[in-house]
Amino acid sequence: MKTISTQVCIIGAGPSGLMLGQLLNDIGIDTIIVERASLDHVLSRVRAGVLEQGAVRLLERAGVGGRMHGEGLVHEGFAITCEDEIHRIDLAGLTGGQSVMVYGQTEVTRDLVDRRAETSGVTHYEVEAVELHDLDGDRPYVTCRVEGEELRIDCRFIAGCDGFHGASRRAVPESAIRTFEKVYPFGWLGILSDVPPVSHELIYASHSRGFALCSMRSMTRSRYYIQCNAGDSIDAWSDDQFWSELRRRLPPEIGEQLTTGPSFEKSIAPLRSFVAEPMRFGSLFLVGDAAHIVPPTGAKGLNLAASDVHYLFEGLQAYFGDSDSELLNAYSERALARVWRAVRFSWWMTTMLHRFPDHAPFERRILETELAYTLESDAAKSALAENYVGLPY
């Protein structure tokens, strides 16, 4: 078995792993990233595209802000429709000028992959049999198989950025971890189509037939979603059926402007809320989806991963730069405080805007009243906007 050494071994080459690796490499902390999928697969994954300002600043610090600012779309508001009514949430006006950036996660990943190659960062793709060892001590290591060769990576710390189904969280003894989960009784059927978006801002639609979302990746590529049954099959939905159902859930003046076309990507995403506590186990730190999942309604998945990266980067920088462990020891507590706020917000938006098949009439009326109050109250809209643009970190 070949043995190599690094300061931080990062499991997973998604946006969080690549972002953390770049931030560390740029200040002289050595990292190795191992990823079970191929590079082509990593770059083909279609994910969310709304970035909080905190995530934007981290990407700038990682040296990948150029294309984002050139091609990304700054949004200072979004719409919530309720049957035929349209209400605009003025993010900038309600938060003192803050906004969000619409820039696809695939593009974020591509920019970080290119930046890592430019700065000679080491990433191994299509890695098999990843296992984490000796997490309780100060000399952990990772074993894996790279291109058929057995490899051992000695390190000081391991960052588990390998998602919900990755090896990192599985390496933690069940007795040492506590999990919280809510599975929602519906999914999102989503399509990508090379058609202009129906609006220059996102539209969240609450309708008696179910939720819908109109978003975009650019001014020529649209991303649309409709709430569907949890057990639905993609094969049961043709493009024509999707467009027809989406139009039904939008106010007529919006539906009439909808440009339709063939989809080139179609998927059904289950919705769940999940949190694992704590987020540190000895020399292992969980980051992003390895520690928490949120429904996409509040656009918090990638943004929560970015705040995790921020807290962990600060801790590792102080540890290796100043031999100061205080921030590293506080990582789990700091990250989880923000995670739970975002989990609450995502749960709240999901509950308020969707139709639950098992809700009694009383529950339906309460949620209708919650939405009406939110859209009528300046204080409630301000709270919505504050959470949507991202709480500080």
> Could you say which of 15, 75, 224, 225 is catalytic?
75
Annotate 192-221 with b (16+ C-beta within 10 A) or e (fewer).
bbebbbbbebbbbbbbeebbbbbbbbbeee
**Contact assessment for residue 92 and residue 381, using Cβ atoms and an 8 Å cutoff:** no
**pLDDT band with cut points at 50, 70 and 90 for residue 192:** very high
Instruction: Specify the pairing of strand 128-133 against strand 141-146.
Output: antiparallel
Domains parsed from the chain with CATH numbers: 2-50+104-180+272-348 (3.50.50.60)
As a whole number, mean pLDDT of residues 248-256 equals 97
| 118 token code pair | 């430019």
Residue 300 annotated to the active site: yes
Annotate 316-329 with b (16+ C-beta within 10 A) or e (fewer).
bbebbeeeeeebbe
> Could you say which of 292, 300, 310, 381 is catalytic?
300
As a whole number, mean pLDDT of residues 257-264 equals 96
Whether the pLDDT of residue 40 is over 80: the answer is yes
Q: What is the pLDDT of residue 221?
A: 92
Residue 2 annotated to the active site: no
Q: What is the pLDDT of residue 119?
A: 96
SS3 of residue 181 by DSSP = strand
pTM of the model: 0.96
**pLDDT band with cut points at 50, 70 and 90 for residue 44:** confident
Query: Looking at 35-171, which runs of residues are DSSP E strands?
Result: 50-51, 73-75, 78-82, 85-89, 100-102, 122-124, 128-133, 141-146, 149-154, 157-160
> Could you say which of 103, 141, 204, 319 is catalytic?
204
Annotate 84-108 with b (16+ C-beta within 10 A) or e (fewer).
eeeeebebeebbeebbbbbbbbbbb
Alpha carbon distance 13, 11 (integer Å): 7
Q: What is the pLDDT of residue 49?
A: 85
> Could you say which of 207, 224, 296, 310 is catalytic?
296
Residue 149 burial (CB count, 10 A): 9
Q: What is the pLDDT of residue 106?
A: 92
> Of the candidates 115, 143, 132, which has an alpha carbon nearest to the alpha carbon of residue 59?
115
As a whole number, mean pLDDT of residues 258-278 equals 96
Backbone angles phi and psi of 242, in degrees to 5: -60, -50
Residue 331 annotated to the active site: no
**Lowest model confidence (mean pLDDT) among 9-23, 153-167, 217-231:** 217-231
Residue 190: its H or E element: strand 178-193
- Cα three-residue angle 244-245-249, rounded to 5 degrees: 120
SS3 of residue 67 by DSSP = helix
Q: What is the pLDDT of residue 264?
A: 93
DSSP per-residue codes, 331-377 = HHHHHHHHHHHHHHHHHHHHHHHS--TT--HHHHHHHHHHHHHHHH-
Identify residue 174 by its one-letter amino acid code: E
For the chain, the first-to-last Cα distance in angstroms comes to: 42
As a whole number, mean pLDDT of residues 216-245 equals 95
pLDDT digits (tens, 9 = 90+) for 340-392: 999 999 999 999 999 999 999 999 999 999 999 999 999 999 999 999 999 99
Residue 56: its H or E element: helix 53-61
As a whole number, mean pLDDT of residues 12-40 equals 97
- Neighbour-count burial of 173, counting CB atoms closer than 10 A to its CB (0-12 exposed, 13-18 middle, 19+ buried): exposed
CA dist 89 → 106, 153, 218 (Å): 27, 49, 21
Q: What is the pLDDT of residue 10?
A: 98
List, in sequence order, every residue forming a beta bridge with 320; answer none if it has no partner: none
Q: What is the pLDDT of residue 301?
A: 94
- Cα three-residue angle 161-163-168, rounded to 5 degrees: 60
| 298 token code pair | 């509040």
Q: What is the pLDDT of residue 45?
A: 77
Whether the pLDDT of residue 46 is over 80: the answer is no
Q: Edge-to-edge strands of the sheet including 50-51?
A: 50-51, 100-102, 73-75
Q: Return the percentage of the chain with pLDDT > 90, whole number.
A: 97
Mean pLDDT for all residues in the chain: 96
Whether the pLDDT of residue 153 is over 90: the answer is yes
**Contact assessment for residue 204 and residue 353, using Cβ atoms and an 8 Å cutoff:** yes
- Cα three-residue angle 295-62-105, rounded to 5 degrees: 30
As a whole number, mean pLDDT of residues 41-60 equals 90
Instruction: Specify the pairing of strand 222-229 against strand 178-193.
Output: antiparallel
- Cα three-residue angle 379-381-387, rounded to 5 degrees: 105
Cα Rg of the chain (Å, integer): 21
**Contact assessment for residue 276 and residue 178, using Cβ atoms and an 8 Å cutoff:** yes
Q: What is the pLDDT of residue 47?
A: 72
**pLDDT band with cut points at 50, 70 and 90 for residue 247:** very high
Residue 296 annotated to the active site: yes
